[in-house]
């Protein structure tokens, strides 16, 4: 009787885990066109970030060399 009380919620945890897994499996996969668009958007964002960093680096170098 004591052992049953100790591990009694394992079945419930397994059931919850299985439900989460099924919910994730039902989500539609990303289509190739959507994936490509997302990759392009990410690449553009990265380019903008690098450009901004370069500009800040150039501005910092320009202001420090004037001293």
Sequence ranges of the domains in the chain: 7-61
Which tokens is 2 given?
């004591």
Q: What is the pTM of this model?
A: 0.44
DSSP string over 9-56: THHHHHHHHHHHHHHHHHSPPPPHHHHHHHHHHHHHHHHHHHHHHHHH
The pLDDT of residue 1 is 47
Tens of pLDDT along 14-30? 999 999 988 877 777 76
Q: Cα–Cα distance between 54 and 46 in angstroms, integer? A: 12
């Amino acid at each position: 009787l004591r052992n049953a009380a100790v591990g009694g919620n394992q079945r419930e945890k397994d059931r919850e885990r299985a439900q989460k897994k099924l919910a994730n499996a039902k989500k539609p996969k990303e289509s190739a066109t959507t994936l490509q668009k997302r990759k392009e958007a990410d690449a553009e964002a990265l380019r903008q970030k690098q450009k901004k960093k370069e500009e800040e680096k150039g501005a910092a170098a320009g202001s420090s060399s004037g001293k």
